[in-house]
Chains A and B, each alone.
Chain A
């Protein structure tokens, strides 16, 4: 199963790049011109995300570098340890929705210190793999089309992140 998915991942894009232009050509599409026409807005789309990403990443960077993140995690740990969330995992849980790179760094540190096959190492691996950098995705996707009012998107994203955290802890307790 693992091997199969790996093979699909390896082949997916080359096959797409072969099939799409060929099929378009068969259907009498002027392939080169159409590609260029589509690609035209690439630059402006990417550039449009700069103010949004800057706003978000500046805040995340200050929050992290100042030590505020660790402080928040240490405040939360007595409350959360009551419901069975290990204290060591908290910095990762707080950072995961905010910064993909920082969360990966914390997960790596946990795996290095406690070993990949320790309970906390497996838990960190599961959490790193099972959720995405919610704020980065929201900022980037909304930013690319100039949307500033996110309505309830943040709330549903965070609800999902919290569920993933709890589900990771439960399943790791059951499996390992």
Chain B
């Protein structure tokens, strides 16, 4: 599906630019996009290196495993294919907690560590495993409790009650998350029958 979405954005984008007579924006946009991608990846080096070091310490101290054990009832249901108390579970929980608390800088490296752990269990190294799909469904659905950026913008433009959207945000997120988990379960079954 990612192939279709990607091709659609490229082809439709270029055709629209051509039809509207500003084909020259395409080349610039392409190079701008590539520039942003490389900058993003490079800026990840520092935080990933730092958090990988800290997480290795946490693992050596037995903290990650202890955390995995603590949340076992929930994770055993969500990730049946991952062995109980696997370090991947600890990393997943830390990623989700960092997400909820709005610690973006810590959330991404922990998520990548979780992916590395899940990759160790993956039998086909170029294809997403069931557990990875579930993790990403939860991860993209699970967002911060206090959306500080948008609250800041509301303050900037003179809102009478900038935090009034917290309740509606949490509600919408919970709906999205529920559907993410349901869709993941449903599609997992469908895909298994197809192949």
Q: Are A151 and B127 in contact (CB under 8 A)?
A: yes
Q: Are A157 and B57 in contact (CB under 8 A)?
A: no
Q: Does B71 contact A (CB under 8 A)?
A: no
Given A20-B57, A55-B6, decide whether A144 and B115 contact each other with a Cβ distance below 8 A: yes
Q: Are A160 and B176 in contact (CB under 8 A)?
A: yes
Q: Does B63 contact A (CB under 8 A)?
A: yes
Q: Are A151 and B166 in contact (CB under 8 A)?
A: no
Size category, B interface? 35 or more
- Using CB atoms, name the residue of chain A closest to B99: A132
Docked Cα-Cα span, A106 to B191, in Å, equals: 36
Q: Which of B37, B50, B115, B126 lies in contact with A39, CB distance below 8 A?
A: B50
Q: Which of B15, B41, B132, B161 lies in contact with A49, CB distance below 8 A?
A: B41
Docked Cα-Cα span, A121 to B86, in Å, equals: 44
Please name all residues of chain B whose beta carbon is closer than 8 Å to the beta carbon of A171 when the two chains form the complex: 168, 171-172
Distance to closest chain B CB from A134 (angstroms): 5
Q: Are B157 and A112 in contact (CB under 8 A)?
A: yes
Q: Are B41 and A50 in contact (CB under 8 A)?
A: yes
Size category, A interface? 35 or more
Distance to closest chain B CB from A77 (angstroms): 16
Q: Which of A47, A66, A104, A148 lies in contact with B149, CB distance below 8 A?
A: A104
Docked Cα-Cα span, A156 to B63, in Å, equals: 32
Please name all residues of chain B whose beta carbon is closer than 8 Å to the beta carbon of A126 when the two chains form the complex: 165, 168-169, 172
Please name all residues of chain A whose beta carbon is closer than 8 Å to the beta carbon of B1 when the two chains form the complex: 150, 152, 154-155
Q: Are B2 and A138 in contact (CB under 8 A)?
A: yes
Q: Does B55 contact A (CB under 8 A)?
A: yes
The B-contacting residues of A in range 25-42, CB under 8 angstroms, are: 27, 29, 31, 34-42
Q: Which of B16, B37, B112, B177 lies in contact with A45, CB distance below 8 A?
A: B112
Q: Are A2 and B166 in contact (CB under 8 A)?
A: yes
Given A68-B16, A153-B137, decide whether A46 and B44 contact each other with a Cβ distance below 8 A: yes
Q: Are A66 and B29 in contact (CB under 8 A)?
A: yes
Q: Does A85 contact B (CB under 8 A)?
A: no
Q: Which of B28, B58, B172 lies in contact with A127, CB distance below 8 A?
A: B172
1/0 per residue, CB under 8 A from A, across B58-76: the answer is 1111110000000000000
A121-B159, A157-B140 known; 14 new pairs, CB 8 Å cut-off, are A2-B166, A47-B45, A54-B38, A62-B33, A66-B25, A67-B17, A68-B9, A98-B9, A128-B147, A130-B172, A132-B139, A135-B5, A142-B128, A157-B136
What are the 8 tightest A-B residue pairs by CB atom distance, in nearest-first order? A38-B56, A42-B49, A61-B33, A129-B147, A39-B53, A164-B176, A65-B29, A66-B17
A-side residues, CB < 8 A to B, are 2, 5-6, 8-9, 12-13, 16-17, 20-21, 23-24, 27, 29, 31, 34-43, 45-47, 49-50, 53-68, 71-72, 98, 104, 107-108, 111-112, 115-117, 121-122, 125-135, 137-138, 140-142, 144-157, 159-161, 163-164, 166-168, 171-172, 175-176
